[in-house]
Amino acid sequence: MNGLTEQQLTDLQRYGFNAELQQIWQKDVADGRLSMGTNAVSGDLLAPPPGSIQKQPGIETKAYRELEQLGREAIASGQLGVVVLNGGMATRFGGVVKGVVPVLGKSRTFLGLAVEDVLTHRKESGGDISLFCMNSFATDEATKAHFADHAQFGLSKSCIEHFNQFVAVRMTKSGDLLHTEDGEISPYGPGHGDFVSAFRQSGCLERFRANGGRYLLVRNVDNLGARIDPIVLGHHIKSGCEMTVELAPKWPEDVGGSPFQYLGRTQLIEQLRYPEGFDPNVVDVFNTNTFTFSADTLDRDFDLGWYFVEKKVGDQEAVQVEHLIGEMTAHLTTNFLQVRRNGRRTRFLPLKTPDDLQSALEEIAEIYDGTDEEDNI
């Protein structure tokens, strides 16, 4: 392939690099068929119809207890798996793999706390819970070494699997491959939407289902609020939908996608797809990037779009093309669930910078080490 050495191509192909697709993107960027303008939706975005966004029931209500029982039964039966989206480099944490960053002491890292959550629910329920890490070319080796250094954090090797998202190469705005100042290419993982095909193609989906798995909690590695919750799982099961999207109340500084009525159905539309001049504040919740999927619905191909994303690489303007996991709401029946984002029962606590981590340490300790439950929703 033009612009890549034979060794670079070999290294990229280890992580599923698609040279033919890369060349299509380069031509589409050069010809203007992929641009910020082509990201935008072509129809109207309307507020979701009344009743299309559900809320968690009050604690200890009859509805709460019913959902909790549904979720606990599924967990005890070994039907739940957890997928941690762990492909990104923590550039704002000094360019390290974010999953290995200490949070509550040296061993209680982002990934360590994810395992801790799994072990807690395995112990409480007696059921098997599989953990899957979606790594990338940038995080795979460090992540596996981190688990090995900590004896898998007490989790049996048979209960954890690593799989990799695919890899692509950043481009210039003219469609050429981007080269850094030292002449190197700039590879990247093409978005969380990779999860759907990467999980299936790795064989993880088939093995999970063969072992009795039915539901997958999919979460970002840096959202320490996205723990296993029998209530949320029960809500997904009772809904009968193929996926559940967790939504948080929108605060003034928040950016990101939200659910809108588009093309006759309520679906997630990410910010980069908003038409010029669109006011997203017609909806007061937004996507937390935490999902529950019914596993059997993922065993097929999905025609997800590719979207143009602008990035800075050093002092250079770069272009990358990504899939959006939220676009699965255009293909699957979806349960939209508004969750809490404060207090010990929060389900949205993203930590993007060292300052975020430092300012949230007390809240994190309360979430993972506290014992008293809040009564407020």
Looking up residue 302, the CATH number of its domain turns out to be 3.90.550.10
Domain that holds residue 353: 29-364
Strands 243-249 and 215-220: unpaired
Is the CB of residue 194 less than 8 Å from the CB of residue 166? yes
CA end-to-end distance (rounded Å), the chain: 55
pLDDT in tens, 148-186: 999 999 998 889 999 999 999 999 999 999 999 888 999
Instruction: Tell how many helices (H) and how many strands (E) occur in the chain.
Output: 10, 16
Token pair 């990229």 is at which residue?
A: 12
pLDDT in tens, 291-315: 999 999 999 999 999 999 999 998 9
- The answer to whether residue 10 sits within a structural domain is no
The pLDDT assigned to 252 comes to 86
Is the CB of residue 171 less than 8 Å from the CB of residue 21? no
- The answer to whether residue 172 sits within a structural domain is yes
Is the CB of residue 126 less than 8 Å from the CB of residue 148? no
Say how far apart CA 48 and CA 260 lie, in whole Å: 5
Q: How many separate domains does the chain show? A: 1
Question: Whole-prediction pTM value?
Answer: 0.95
Q: Quick one: pLDDT band at residue 30, thresholds 50, 70, 90?
A: very high
Read off the pLDDT of each residue in 47-68 and give the average, rounded to a whole number: 94
Question: What percent of the chain stands above pLDDT 90?
Answer: 87
- The answer to whether residue 24 sits within a structural domain is no
- The answer to whether residue 11 sits within a structural domain is no
- The answer to whether residue 267 sits within a structural domain is yes
Whether residue 371 is predicted with pLDDT greater than 70 in this model: the reply is: no
Amino acid identity for residue 276 in this structure:
E
- The answer to whether residue 22 sits within a structural domain is no
- The answer to whether residue 20 sits within a structural domain is no
- The answer to whether residue 212 sits within a structural domain is yes
CA 177 to chain centre: 27
In whole numbers, what is the pLDDT of the chain averaged over residues? 94
